[in-house]
Amino acid sequence: MDIPIIGIPDDQFVFTVPRQGLITKCEIRVLSLSKLHLKPGQTLWDIGAGSGSVGIEAARLIPDLKVLAIEKDKEDFDCLTQNIETFGVSKRFTTIYGKAPDALPEGTTAHRIFIGGSGGKMSTLLDRSRQTLPSDGRIVLNLATFENMAEVLSWAKEAGLEPDIVQVQVGRGKPLIGLHRIEALNPVWIVTIDLSQRVQKREKP
């Protein structure tokens, strides 16, 4: 039986050049998937899917997982559809070329949501995600800017939810004239919002 590896190498995906920094790197991808707590038979929304690396790896690892992937950039969307075919997971994917949340179909539901890109509508995306998910649903976000982090924290506070925040800085070894050095990748915040974990309000004495 072919057992899928965990952490598909980045170079196995087709993604837009020269914007190579936009793919979710395998180290970040594996950590993000671990935070989603995916289970067989669930539905995952991959918002701002880019090349589709997160949703594709999730589909290969989790039996019967269904993935709805949405991407607004045409070049990235073409890479997404090509990668889905390459990895043989097309039967469990629904792809949408458009901008979330406007292009998300009404009446659809999810158990888990991964947000890799917000298109400048972070709070609106989080509102839609909360409406879509069950009471034990999870949202996992990859953030690279202070502005997005501030918006997520403000939204979570208003919603009475306590996010789990992990800051990840990855360095990869690179050859240098017969020697080796470490080349740093861009730091990323992995933010997990568990809808079942509401902030306990303190009673006034």
Domain extent listing, the chain = 11-194
Q: How far is Cα 53 from Cα 195, in angstroms, rounded to an integer?
A: 25
Those residues with Cβ within 8 angstroms of residue 60's Cβ, 6 or more apart along the chain or in another chain: 4, 8, 87, 89
Asked if residue 88 has pLDDT above 50, the reply is yes
Q: Please state the rounded mean pLDDT for residues 77-98.
A: 95
β-strand partners of 182: 173
Any idea which of 20-24, 48-52, 59-63 has the lowest mean pLDDT? 20-24
CATH topology of domain 11-194: Rossmann fold (3.40.50)
